[in-house]
Structure 1
Amino acid sequence: MKLILASTSPYRRTILEKLCIPFSCAAPNIDETPLKSETADELVQRLAAEKAQSIAKSHKGLIIGSDQVAFAKGTILGKPGNKTKAIEQLKMLSTETVTFYTGLSLLDSDTGRQQTMVETFDVTFKQLSVAQINRYLDLETPYDCAGSFKSEGLGIALFSSLQGRDPNSLIGLPLIALIELLTSFDIDAFDYMQPA
């Protein structure tokens, strides 16, 4: 099995490495602009599928596409990109419950078969002061992360509770769902695992 992750995200790469299955990474080339009136669920499904399809044009194998957004107070939150936007996001998220939508798509480039699904994960934030927000952002600079935090790092100090079936989905790649997709393609992940 040749497994390809349609992402250059170091976070997704690190998560996938947990399975001890050899894989390569390739950068998808797609427009990630949301469509008019597209829901968070629809957006991540579409982008995950398109990322996998983009890689299938030049690579052969099983291709994993994934995309994530945060949704709170009726707003889709992407990556802040800079400290000013991260401060705005975290001030808005203080005491709120945020739903993270992670789209996951598996595409067999040989057969064209593709399955796409969405995993959700809820995060409830503590009440955060401006000083706490600034200190956190100075320490971790999570400007390339949806919602302006890294749950696998210091971001855990921002939360009062987490709820979801797979904490990996919060970081950007739901492994439980990926193993389920592989199984639906008649692939047993254990057959490809190698010693770390």
Structure 2
Amino acid sequence: MQKLLLASSSIYRQELLSRLKIPFGCFSPDIDEKPKNGESIEALVLRLSKEKAKAALNQYPDATCIGSDELAVLNNEVLGKPLTHENATQQLSAMSGQKVDFYTGICVLSTHPAFEDCRLVMTSVTFRKLSPSMIENYLQKEKPYQSAGSFKSETLGSALIEKFHGDDPTAMIGLPLITLCDMLEKVGMAVI
């Protein structure tokens, strides 16, 4: 059976992929994630997903490699990883009562058989009105400083949501499983 490799060091993506009950390995890609001049958000997440999968495939040419990337966007502005408590507070305050779009790119690459499939999965989230104490409590409990937009839907972040719109709820965690199952079937690795 073809070896499956997840090009990610994210424990959340690893946990999601493990739900499919397919053996897989992990590879931490080291790529430059800076956007190129004039690159759209859609193009950026697709390129980064592909570059991650390609970095894994270069190291493991006999594997089927999965790359994924996600960006949160508020009013056409990309919300990166906050890294600090202060930045996270500012991001969540700006997101209060607002709709935030999550762009998740996913790419599956293989050389045997030759296969490339890169897709974009969109999710929109409307946040509740967030009081300063709600934001502070959330940050103290979650410490989401490495998460796009300071938001971790896989845990306590669901308490911040008023409305969710999307076809693949796992996309917000960073690995759209519904989409991935279709892609894996096409490369000859059916989940069921």
What TM-score results when the alignment is normalised by the length of structure 2? 0.95
Task: Classify 1:155/1:122 alpha carbon distance in 2 versus 1 (closer, same or farther; 3 Å).
Answer: same
Contact 1:79 1:145 in 2 (8 A): yes
Cα separation, 2, equivalents of 1:83 and 1:37: 30
Q: Which runs of no fewer than 5 residues in structure 1 stay unpaired?
A: 191-196
What TM-score results when the alignment is normalised by the length of structure 1? 0.93
Cα separation, 1, equivalents of 2:188 and 2:52: 22
Identity %: 42
- The match for 1:7 is 8
Cα separation, 2, equivalents of 1:19 and 1:11: 14
RMSD of aligned alpha carbons: 1.1
Q: After the TM superposition, which residues 109-188 of structure 1 pair with which residues of structure 2 at under 5 Å, given as runs?
A: 109-188=111-190
Please give the per-residue CA displacement for 1:123-176, whole angstroms capped at 9, x wherever unaligned.
Answer: 100111122111110111011111112112111111111111111101000001
- The match for 1:51 is 52
Contact 2:69 2:105 in 1 (8 A): yes
Cα separation, 1, equivalents of 2:57 and 2:188: 20
2:148 partner SS: coil
- Give the one of 63, 66, 76 matched to 2:65: 63
Q: Which runs of no fewer than 5 residues in structure 2 stay unpaired?
A: none
Number of residue pairs the alignment of both structures matches: 190
Shift of residue 111 of structure 1?
4.5
Cα separation, 2, equivalents of 1:47 and 1:177: 17
Give 4+ residue runs of structure 1 displaced > 4 Å after superposition: none
- The match for 2:78 is 76
Shift of residue 25 of structure 1?
0.2
The worse-fitting range, judged by mean Cα deviation, of 46-55 and 145-154 is: 145-154
Between structures 1 and 2, the one with greater strand share: 2
Task: Classify 1:32/1:112 alpha carbon distance in 2 versus 1 (closer, same or farther; 3 Å).
Answer: farther
Cα separation, 2, equivalents of 1:103 and 1:82: 25
Cα separation, 2, equivalents of 1:109 and 1:88: 44
Equivalent AA in structure 2 for residue 176 of structure 1:
I
Please give the per-residue CA displacement for 1:60-117, whole angstroms capped at 9, x wherever unaligned.
Answer: 2100000000011110112111111111111111111111010000000334421100
Cα separation, 2, equivalents of 1:183 and 1:88: 42
Shift of residue 181 of structure 1?
0.8
1:29 partner SS: coil
